[in-house]
Every structure is written in structure tokens, then in C-alpha cells.
């Protein structure tokens, strides 16, 4: 246990410090090369550097490789390779807006390391009901889960600080759940994601100094998904990101097809004081943000805070679920 505690402290520190220290350097680098995009929710022509996913990649890979030296198991290797592949898909989309099907299909291939390394258990665990063994069906679940988590977190990256704050809360909840279930190695791997997103949140929170881009948000989602699979906590992981899942469900059910979210009509518009309110356009998609501003306009910061409150509630539910599953196991 002492070795696990030392490993947790070291890799968490590497994830946090490397991103916290490197991101300001990346901001200056991107600004010098005019790699910036307009912040659509700010008055005037406010340009923000993007993509910050490069910084996130450095912190996550450095910390996870260090963890692999402590615990050289296939599950951690699968997390490393799949996360890098998720970043690669995102960085391609950062360079050029791809079609709606590009990310889901590409991310499905990113699940290959999990399958090839055999870093999964075909049992699907549910609270109260116990474990269900679905060998063949579970393979399909692995292939589908990475695109789902990758796109789900990517689609909620619409306001300053949302995706990084969201990932921080959900990842800490998932890490605690893994520790409750005594899956310590994967729990520590999840701490890397939690501290990486926390460090990036420092620069991404309102008002943002840098955007993660698809490379950052897709990598967040991909890593979250692979941790859920190799840790055998798929149901708990889904509960922790329930607000993002609801957002994706609302979006897809209103659009009725898979499209690149940057190519659809904006579901919100600005008031004179630059708050956000729901659009009157019936053809615009329904999203979580649109629901939050349906009654009255809210500022970008207020909306972000509301989403993070919902995420905290989901995270608590996930931890309670882990206790229920842990009690059954014990």
C-alpha cells in the first residue's frame, strides 16, 4: 500500500505541475504564430490561443508513463496508447473541420489497444444486481464507448472552463469510486487525468486564456472512457458524466443525425449586455446550455457554474453507486 501511495503522489504531481508550468509557454507560442480563434461569447474581437491539447498531452503521457514504471500492467499501457490516439484524432479536427462521422469512426479505431492488449473484463457490473457476463457484446461496447465518451466531452466544450472543470470533477469522482472498489492502480491512473484537467482549468476557466481545442477535449473523453473500461466501472463512469450524456442526447435527438457541432446553428444568442439566452430558431438544436437559459438569460460564468454544480451532483451519485457495489463485493 505504501508503494501505491507514493506512486499516487508522484504521478499526480507530474500531471499537475507539468501542465501548470508548460501551458503559459504554449499560450505565448500559439499567440506568436497567430494560432488563435475568436471567443464568440466575449464583446469585441477577443482572440484565444488554441489548441491547448498539446499541454494536456504532455502532462498526461508523462504521468502515465511514470505510473507504468511503478505498475507495468497492460491496463495502464492501454490508457497511454488510447489517450495518445484520442489526441491525434482531435488535433486533426483542430487543423481542419472534418465531417460529422469522422470523430466517431476514428475514435472507434482508438479502442484497438484495449482489445489487442486484452485490458478489459467482459463482466459488466451493476449496483444491487451484481455482475453480468456478456463476452461478445462487451467487445462491441468497448468499440462504442470510446467514441461516446470522446464525443460527449467534446460536445460540452462550448464555454470557458466547462470541459476542463467538468473533467476534473468527474475524474476525481471516478478515482474515488475506483479506490472504494479497491482497484488502486487504475484509480491512480484516473488521478492523473483529474490533476491534469485541474491544472488546465487554471488557464481555461472564465475568462479563458487558452482553449483546449478538440485535441484536448477529445483526449479528456477518450482517456476517461478507457479508464472506465479497464477499471471495470463503466456504469459508475456514465453516472459521473450524466450532464454531458444528457447534453449529447438532447443534441442528437433534436438534430436527428450525426454532425460536427461547429457546423450547426447556435442554440443561444446574446442579449444587449452579452448574456446568453435561448434562440427563437426552432431549427437550432436543443442542448444543456439552451435549457439552462430557457427561463432567463445568464452570463457565461453563471452557466459554467450551473453545469459544474450538476456535475458535482452526478459525481456524488457515482461515489454512492461505488459504495453500493463495494458493499456487495465485500
Are 214 and 51 in contact by the 8 Å Cβ rule? The answer is: yes
Average the pLDDT over 48-66 and give the result.
98
Residue 233's pLDDT is 95
Q: What is the pLDDT of residues 5-42, one digit of tens each?
A: 999 999 999 999 999 999 999 999 999 999 999 998 99
Q: Quote the pTM value.
A: 0.94
Are 40 and 211 in contact by the 8 Å Cβ rule? The answer is: no
Cell 502515465: give the residue.
64
pLDDT at 328 over 60: no
Q: What is the pLDDT of residues 280-308, one digit of tens each?
A: 888 889 999 999 999 999 999 999 999 99
DSSP assignment letter at 118:
T
Average the pLDDT over 153-180 and give the result.
97
User: Residue 1 burial (CB < 10 Å; 0-12/13-18/19+)?
Assistant: exposed
Of 196, 174, 168, 175, whose CA–CA distance to 14 is shortest? 196
Q: What is the pLDDT of residues 189-206, one digit of tens each?
A: 999 999 999 999 999 999
Longest dimension (CA), the chain: 58
Cell 426552432: give the residue.
282
Q: Round the average pLDDT of the chain to a whole number and report it.
A: 92
CA–CA dist 23, 50 (Å, integer): 11
Residue 329's pLDDT is 46
Which run of H or E residues covers position 175? Answer: helix 162-180
Amino acid at each position: 500500500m505504501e508503494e501505491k501511495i507514493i506512486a499516487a503522489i508522484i504521478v499526480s504531481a507530474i500531471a499537475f505541475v507539468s501542465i501548470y508550468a508548460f501551458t503559459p509557454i504554449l499560450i505565448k507560442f500559439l499567440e506568436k504564430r497567430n494560432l488563435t480563434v475568436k471567443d464568440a461569447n466575449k464583446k469585441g474581437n477577443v482572440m484565444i490561443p488554441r489548441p491547448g491539447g498539446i499541454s494536456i498531452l504532455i502532462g498526461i503521457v508523462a504521468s502515465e508513463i511514470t505510473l507504468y514504471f511503478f505498475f507495468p500492467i497492460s491496463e495502464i499501457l492501454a490508457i497511454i496508447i488510447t489517450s495518445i490516439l484520442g489526441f491525434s484524432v482531435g488535433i486533426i479536427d483542430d487543423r481542419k473541420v472534418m465531417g460529422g462521422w469522422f470523430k466517431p469512426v476514428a475514435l472507434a479505431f482508438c479502442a484497438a489497444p484495449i482489445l489487442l492488449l486484452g485490458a478489459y473484463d467482459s463482466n459488466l457490473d451493476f449496483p444491487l444486481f451484481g455482475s453480468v457476463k456478456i463476452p461478445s457484446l462487451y467487445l462491441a461496447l468497448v468499440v462504442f464507448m470510446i467514441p461516446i465518451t470522446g464525443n460527449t466531452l467534446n460536445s460540452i466544450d462550448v464555454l470557458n472552463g466547462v470541459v476542463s472543470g467538468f473533467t476534473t470533477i468527474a475524474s476525481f469522482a471516478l478515482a474515488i469510486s475506483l479506490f472504494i472498489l479497491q482497484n488502486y492502480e487504475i484509480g491512480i491512473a484516473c488521478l492523473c487525468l483529474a490533476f491534469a484537467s485541474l491544472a488546465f482549468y487554471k488557464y481555461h476557466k472564465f475568462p479563458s486564456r487558452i482553449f483546449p481545442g478538440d485535441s484536448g477535449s477529445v483526449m479528456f473523453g477518450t482517456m476517461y472512457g478507457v479508464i472506465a473500461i479497464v477499471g471495470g466501472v463503466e456504469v459508475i463512469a456514465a453516472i459521473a458524466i450524466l450532464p454531458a450524456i444528457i447534453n449529447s442526447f438532447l443534441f442528437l435527438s433534436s438534430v436527428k443525425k450525426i454532425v460536427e457541432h461547429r457546423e450547426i446553428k447556435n442554440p443561444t444568442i446574446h442579449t444587449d449586455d452579452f448574456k446568453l439566452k435561448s434562440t427563437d430558431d426552432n431549427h437550432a438544436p436543443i442542448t444543456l446550455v439552451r435549457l439552462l437559459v430557457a427561463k432567463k438569460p445568464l452570463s457565461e460564468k453563471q452557466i459554467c457554474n450551473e453545469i459544474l454544480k450538476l456535475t458535482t451532483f452526478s459525481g456524488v451519485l457515482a461515489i454512492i453507486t461505488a459504495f453500493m457495489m463495494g458493499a456487495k463485493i465485500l
